Structure 1
Amino acid sequence: MSDTAQQQVDRAMLTNYEKVAEVVSEKDVKNYLLENPDFFVKNPQVAEKLVISHQQKGSISLVELQSEQLRKKNRELSHKLNQLISIAKQNEQIYRIYADLNIQLLGCRFFSEVQDVLEDVMRQKLLLSAVTLKSFSGAHALPEIQRKLFIEKRFKQDCFFFGRLSQHETQLLFKDGNVESVALMLLGEKGELGILAIGSKDPSHFNPDMDTLLITQLQQFLNVLLPNLAGY
């Protein structure tokens, strides 16, 4: 086909498209193209004539736009993949720390040793700001009035609490610790053993939406370990 004939065909097609545009809405065109993704493959001459406005590059072709969008999507996918890999590595590291913690706890013979091990691991390896283990019995037991305060206010529906405490509550548990958010857990099958409190200086570190798998495993481990310790 000669160039003149091709031009006549193209003009005729464009004229037809203009007539159709008068009765076809933008939504109709969008739906049609979505239902026929090979339209521009079957009609390459249409794709070649499309000119699309671009903020940085001015007017570009549809092919250029698609290529740029594909490169952008690939960059975004690569970034998300790197984030997932980083999170997976962090989770693996944290899991190993908790596994080592359980082994160390097995060697404890007294309640005070459990406190020391928990504080060492949580502060040195997990970089948390404060850890305290409050027993509900024994010479250093949490006073009954304070015990009721925490149970009635922070453990109404669950044996865990994640979030922020009042200044008074923070001082009762941590005294001079730099604590802005906490993870609290009741210990014992019925919450009768005590409270483990872990504090972070980051206000958003502990929050109600956080995953509880590892901290639940720690709670279960302590529930078995603590009643068998001498001096509890």
Structure 2
Amino acid sequence: MNDVTPIEPQPTQLTEDVVAQFLMDHPDFFQQHPELLGRIKVDTPERGVVSLVEVQVSKLRDRIGDLEEEITQLMSLAAKNDRLFHDFANVQKQLLACENFSQAAKIIEQKALSLDLTAHIKIIDHSHPKYHVDKTALDNFIKKFLNGHSAYLGRLRKAERDSLLAYGGLDHSSAELGSFAILPLGQSQSIGVMAFASRDGRHFEPNMDTLFLEQLVSVFHYLLMQWSKSSHE
């Protein structure tokens, strides 16, 4: 029987990828060899040749700066949400003190104006043309734009906007490039919509939170049902 000569393993060719993979597989390498940190130099476009430690410190500073900016933005958003919460809570309190639709509609319209918005309240077959919406137009809008969602946020084409919201002096020039927040009055069987229009086309965008608006609409819809019930008793 012939002796088989064992095949010695060939040394792995040292490449950048091999070194990178080794360091990824051994994240504690520099902890075991701290003397290398000061000897490894990195050529950076901003500061020239610096040590690896300096690169790490610079990246940490940048990350801390990013985190501080994120915290500032979050604090600003929290402050804005706090103001909105108190504003909407106050509006809801005023609504609960109303005795009829006209009083409630006036409160919402005035609040919208204070926010540089225009409020539109539309109810199927309402006796006043300002608040009237055709049932077919409402059903078409709900089917196309809401379809189970609690609100529509964004722009509208002229025909779609007019069929739902138009009344007398609707300002077409300002609304043409504007944006809207439109919420149904009632989810399972809507009796109308409450809409807020802005001249700014980016004021209402699909990714916005609508919690406060939903609460406002919910309170308004509840009051509508109570006033309707009382009128039939």
What TM bracket, shorter-length normalisation?
Answer: 0.7 to 0.9
CA contact (8 A) 1:186 1:194 kept: yes
- Equivalences for residues 1-232 of structure 1 within 5 A: 23-124=13-114, 127-140=115-128, 141-172=132-163, 173=165, 175-176=170-171, 178-179=174-175, 180-188=178-186, 190-229=188-227
The unaligned stretches of length 5 or more in structure 2 are 1-10
SS of the residue aligned with 2:156? coil
Change (3 A) 1:79 1:186: same
Q: Percent identity?
A: 29
- For each residue in 1:200-228, what CA deviation from the matched residue of structure 2 results, as whole angstroms up to 9, or x when unmatched? 12222223332232222222212211123
1:142: Cα distance to partner? 2.2
8 Å contact kept, 1:182–1:199 = yes
Whole-Å separation in 2 of the counterparts to 1:207 and 1:83: 19
Any idea what the Cα deviations from partners look like across 1:58-79, whole Å, max 9, x if unmatched?
1111111111111111111111
Q: Which runs of 5+ in 1 are unaligned?
A: 1-19
Query: In the alignment, is the contact (CA less than 8 A) between 2:150 and 2:214 conserved in 1?
Result: no
Greater share of helix: 1
Q: How many equivalent pairs are there? A: 210
SS in 1 for 2:141: helix
TM-score, structure 1 as length reference: 0.79
* Separation in 1, partners of 2:96, 2:159: 34
Distance 2:52 2:216 in 1: 57
Three-state SS of the structure 2 residue aligned to 1:24 is: coil
Q: Distance in 1 between matches of 2:44 and 2:143?
A: 60
| Residues 1:49 and 1:157: Cα distance change in structure 2 (over 3 Å) | same
Rounded to whole Å, the distance in 2 between the matches of 1:212 and 1:116 is 22
SS of match in other structure, 1:182: strand
Deviant stretches of 4+, over 4 Å: none
Contact 1:137 1:193 in 2 (8 A): no
Q: 1:147 to 1:41 in 2, by over 3 A?
A: closer
Q: Is the 8 A contact 1:189 1:223 kept in 2?
A: no
> Structure 2 vs 1, CA of residues 72 and 148 (structure 1 numbering), >3 Å: closer, same or farther?
closer
Give the distance between the partners of 2:28 and 2:138, measured in 1 at CA.
Answer: 69
Q: One-letter code of the match for 2:124?
A: F
Alpha-carbon contact 2:125-2:134 (below 8 Å) kept: no
State the 1:189 CA deviation: 5.3
| Distance in 1 between residues matched to 2:199 and 2:136, nearest whole Å | 27
Task: Give the residue type in structure 2 aligned to 1:158.
Answer: H
Is the Cα contact below 8 Å between 1:128 and 1:198 reproduced in 2? no
Alpha-carbon spacing, 1:191–1:51, altered in 2? closer, same or farther (3 Å): same
